[in-house]
Amino acid sequence: MKGAIHATAVVEDGARLGADVEIGPFCHVGPQTTLGDGVRLVSHVSLAGDTTVGARTVIYPFASIGHPPQDLKYRGEPVRLSIGEDCLIREGVTMNPGTAGGGSETVVGPRSVFLASAHVGHDCRIGEGVVMSNNVMLGGHCQIGDFANLGGGVAVHQFVRIGAYAFVGGLAGVEHDLIPFGIALGNRAALAGLNVVGLKRRGFSHETIHELRRAYKMLFNGAGTLKERIDDLGEAFADQEAVQQIVAFLRQGGDRAICVPRAGKDEQG
């Protein structure tokens, strides 16, 4: 059973369709595309390149998925875009595949949400349950951790990492890495505390949130160099998994500096 394919849709020879796929009016599905079981293309969706769409993902009109990366160094080499299952991709969203300089693949985790006109640049790595609101823009090579939430109009600089469960306020311009569980606000975005509301919604215990608050103060208000404070954090909270997630994120490092609080600003959240 191949589901319903509208008479005006174009499905190129070679495209692979799972069971119960629905392809609405005026969609175009390229010859290297794979659609998992139950995928739904509402209408006017364009899928190109070596693109895989996970089961039950729904894509709304005028989304452009898998077309060549917006990188002037791209010369037509084989690249991929992989989208996980149960994603929601709203109107006008654009997602680019990878490039040879970034591993040749863009990866979008399962159960993530992309609201109208959001953009996922080449070579990005997006985790599970991420929410990108309207007009969020990710430059190339960004990494977005599980369950991070990016408010409307956020612009994320290329190579920036945003940790799991973090929150970025609307219209922020993010040029530095954001620790897991952190909140970033403003342009240019600065760390404004912990995403306590998000942590409560995700079922984190009061004790865990309390320990994260203690760790935050030690990390950003303690004595010594940043490396010394990270080491102190690792030892003082050796049995606290959430804090160790922050430690691991910081030790891993990246191509950008990290977001820190603005001088004189108290923690929010």
62 and 131 co-located in one domain? yes
Residue 53 lies in a domain: yes
121 and 207 co-located in one domain? no
Residue 86 lies in a domain: yes
137 and 206 co-located in one domain? no
Residue 167 lies in a domain: no
Strand order in the sheet with 16-17: 16-17, 34-35, 50-53, 80-83, 105-108, 125-126, 143-144, 161-162
User: Which residue(s) pair with 203 in the sheet?
Assistant: none
123 is catalytic: yes
Residue 222 lies in a domain: yes
94 and 216 co-located in one domain? no
Residue 3, pLDDT score: 78
Residue 179 lies in a domain: no
Residue 1, pLDDT score: 41
The residue among 115, 141, 167 that closes a domain is 141
Structural domain tally of the chain? 2
Contact 183, 169 (CB under 8 A): yes
User: Annotated catalytic residue: which of 50, 71, 123, 146?
Assistant: 123
In sequence order, which residues have a C-beta less than 8 Å from that of residue 182 and are 6 or more positions away? Answer: 163, 166, 167, 191, 193, 194, 195, 259
134 and 236 co-located in one domain? no
Q: 219-244: per-residue pLDDT in tens? A: 999 999 999 999 999 999 999 999 99
User: Annotated catalytic residue: which of 119, 122, 141, 176?
Assistant: 122
Residue 94, pLDDT score: 98
CA distances, 216 to each of 111, 243, 261 (Å): 29, 9, 11
Structural domain range at position 246: 200-252
122 is catalytic: yes
Q: What is the CATH number of the domain that holds 237?
A: 1.20.1180
Q: 13-49: per-residue pLDDT in tens? A: 999 999 999 999 999 999 999 999 999 999 999 999 9
- pTM of the predicted model as reported, rounded to 2 decimal places: 0.96
Closest C-alpha among 192, 198, 141, 129 to residue 166:
198
Residue 64, pLDDT score: 98
Residue 263, pLDDT score: 82
User: Annotated catalytic residue: which of 54, 92, 121, 140?
Assistant: 140
269 residues of the chain, pLDDT tens digit each: 457 999 999 999 999 999 999 999 999 999 999 999 999 999 999 999 999 999 999 999 999 999 999 999 999 999 999 999 999 999 999 999 999 999 999 999 999 999 999 999 999 999 999 999 999 999 999 999 999 999 999 999 999 999 999 999 999 999 999 999 999 999 899 999 999 999 999 999 999 999 999 999 999 999 999 999 999 999 999 999 999 999 999 999 999 999 999 986 656 65
Residue 145, pLDDT score: 98
The residue among 141, 168, 191 that closes a domain is 141
Contact 245, 230 (CB under 8 A): no
